[in-house]
Amino acid sequence: MTTIGQVAHLVRKDVTQFRWWLVGYTILTIAVTLAATQSLTLDSGPRAVAAPALWVVGVLIAALIVQSDTPGNSLAFWASRPIQPLALLSAKLCVVFGVLVVVPLVGLTIVLRGYSLSASELVSLLLPPFLFASGVLVAAMLVASLTSRTSSFLGVMFGVPLAIVSLASWRDGLPAWSRSMDAATTTALDLAALGGIAILLIVVYRSRATGRRWLAATTALLAASAWAILVTKTEPLAQTVGESTGQSVNAIVEEGSLAWLDPGAALTIGVTTSGTNQEHGYVFRPDSIRVDGLNGHTMTFPLYGLSAVPSSVRSTGAPQSTVSTSRSTHFFRFTLVQQDSLGGNIRHVRVLGSVEERAPALLASMRPTADTVLHDGRTRIHVSRVVEYPSRLRLEIDAPMSTRRLRSIPAAEGSTVYSTRLVWPASADTVPLRLDHRRIGNDFLVLPLAMKFGHQVTIDMPRADSLQAHRKPPLDLARVQIVRWNLIASNRVSAERALSILPSLP
């Protein structure tokens, strides 16, 4: 039997042995993915449980698979068979990665394909979660290979990081991590960590390592890693990200909303924002509508944040110069005013937008009752209290934003999206912050490229009407939280409607 054949043989054995676990995990993953792609209504409760549950179950399955043939156990059945330790390790890796990594990645790919991402964009998007998942699973396999019982594994794998988190939290509060690193650095570090753990795992299998010394060394390594992540401060007062504030968004052009466009008449196009993929932290943000006329002309109408909005676009309920949709706005209408260039019938409407990913950590978590300035390497955030209006805060954000260009839109379109909210210790009291100008929905602040080097906005603090008076906690206890959404891909088609050609009016 060749080495490859032996690996395949062992894979078959493990798949047979753990078939119900693997089937259950796959079904759970598919269910979560389908819920993410198909559900139009947002209900973060079950999904918020499902994603961590998938992680815990995945790590547990990896441990069970490894512990069924522990490398250091001289009484293990495989140990005295003509089975190469590295073939055994390869088989375990194949099963663990084949089911616990590839299946969720395929699910993610399906979700993201719905946003029409290109292959290169998909790769760049899927690489970080792949590396992270691989690192966690390989670390779990390493711990499992050095422990013979599930309870010991759980104690080390979850107990040590929990202890470190508790210790770090007690000592300094929990800082955010990796915020000041660019993607390439983070990926390189992830790769290095993954490689290091993988080499250690290979050594354990080759040498049939066992005993307390190895386990103690691995435990120390885990603890040191957790400690390094948790106590490496890039900024003071930062915290890990809380619940998602995004509620987005597959834009759908309202059926039957389009009709003959008379010269000088108004045409209302409805854009429904629906659906989201909160557990994966991805959103689609519609930012323009492209309309093809029968006369061969194409016009693109921006939906937000442009300094030069075509005069043909007139929105309802928003300043003339700014038309926007928000993740929290479930329905939005805007009006097109016919121009000569468009004329006649409309045959095609496409909603274009960007795919964004919630940043892995809060950009800032700051007290609203005192001046606070934070830097995270590329953004400066300043929260100050406006004295004459005790209920008002001034939020300044300086961010060199990446330029975002949409085809067919000549204006500068770069922007970065932040979600802001005010959080009291009891999460039930969390409220989105309203912006007194450039208000985009309830909780999103859009910074157009014109404000590339800084933006200042005054935020109305919640008043009695936003929270019941008897429930309103002191402002001193609150924190302003700001989350940044990172652009993954732009100019994606989210929805497309081909319209039937109407007969021209005489």
Partner 1 sequence: MIAVRELSYRFGKKVVLDDIAFEVPQGAFYAMLGANGAGKTTLFQLLASARPLQHGSAQLFGTPVRSLTMAQRQRVSYVAEGQELPRWMRLEQMEAFCAPLYPTWDAALARTLRTQFDLDSRQVIGTMSRGQRMKVALLCALASRPTLIIMDEPFTGMDVAVKDELVRGLLDAASAEGTTVLLCSHDIAEIEALADWVGILDHGRMRMSESLDALRARYKRVELVTEPGLRLPTQLPASWLSVERAGLRLSVLMEQGSDERESVVDLRGVTRREVREASLKELYLALSGPPRGLVEVAV
Contact positions vs partner 1 (CB under 8 A): 1, 5-6, 9, 13, 16-17, 68, 73-77, 79-84, 207-208
> Smaller CB distance to partner 1: residue 20 or 453?
20
Determine how many CB atoms are found less than 10 A away from the CB of residue 45: 8
Residue 68 vs 335, nearer CB to partner 1: 68
Structural contact between residues 117 and 492, judged by C-beta atoms closer than 8 angstroms: yes
Write out the H or E segment, with its range, that includes residue 134.
Answer: helix 119-146
CA distance 385 to 393: 5
d(CA 422, CA 478) in angstroms, rounded, equals 6
Which of 24, 46 has the CB closer to partner 1? 24
Q: How far apart are CA 432 and CA 460, in angstroms?
A: 10
For the bound state, the minimum distance from the C-beta of residue 100 to partner 1, rounded and expressed in Å, comes to 20
Cβ atoms of residues 455 and 417 within 8 Å: no
What is the nearest approach in angstroms of partner 1 to the Cβ of residue 75?
Answer: 5
Nearer to partner 1, 81 or 437 (CB): 81
Q: What share of the chain is helix, strand, coil (3-state, %, to 5)?
A: 40, 25, 35
CB of 70 to partner 1, least distance (A): 9
Residue 203 CB, shortest distance to partner 1, in Å, is 12
State which residue, 10 or 482, has the beta carbon closest to partner 1.
10
CB closer to partner 1 out of 211 and 503? 211
Number of other CB atoms surrounding residue 331 within 10 Å = 12
Considering the complex, what minimum distance in angstroms separates the CB of residue 95 from partner 1?
A: 15
Enter the tokens of residue 2.
Answer: 């060749």
Contact 102, 25 (CB under 8 A): no
CA distances for 139 relative to 73, 136, 193, 321, 503, angstroms: 19, 5, 10, 53, 66
Tell me how far apart the alpha carbons of residues 343 and 351 are, in angstroms, rounded to a whole number: 20
> To the nearest 10°, the Cα dihedral for 174, 453, 326, 481?
20
Tokens of 90: 């390869």
Neighbouring C-alpha atoms within 13 Å toward the C-beta of 395? 31
Give me the least distance between CB of 82 and partner 1, in Å please. Answer: 4
CB of 144 to partner 1, least distance (A): 16
Tokens 């003959």 sit on residue: 260
**Smaller CB separation from partner 1, 211 or 425:** 211
Rounded to a whole number of angstroms, the minimum distance from the CB of residue 147 to partner 1 is 16
- In the complex with partner 1, the residue whose CB is nearer, 80 or 311, is 80
Specify which residues 311 forms β-bridges with.
none
Distance CA 189, CA 135 (A): 11
Q: How far is the CB of 99 from partner 1 (least distance, A)?
A: 18
Closer CB to partner 1, 140 or 209, in the complex: 209
Shortest gap between Cβ of 209 and partner 1 (angstroms)?
Answer: 9
Sign of CA dihedral 137, 142, 143, 148: positive
Residue tagged 């919630």 (tokens): 358
Closest to partner 1 by CB, 75 vs 387, is 75
**Cα distance between residue 239 and residue 481, in whole Å:** 9
Q: How far is CA 369 from CA 352, 461, 474, 478, in A?
A: 40, 11, 10, 8
CB of 90 to partner 1, least distance (A): 15
Question: CB–CB of 327/246 below 8 Å?
Answer: yes
User: Which one, 64 or 229, has the nearer CB to partner 1?
Assistant: 64
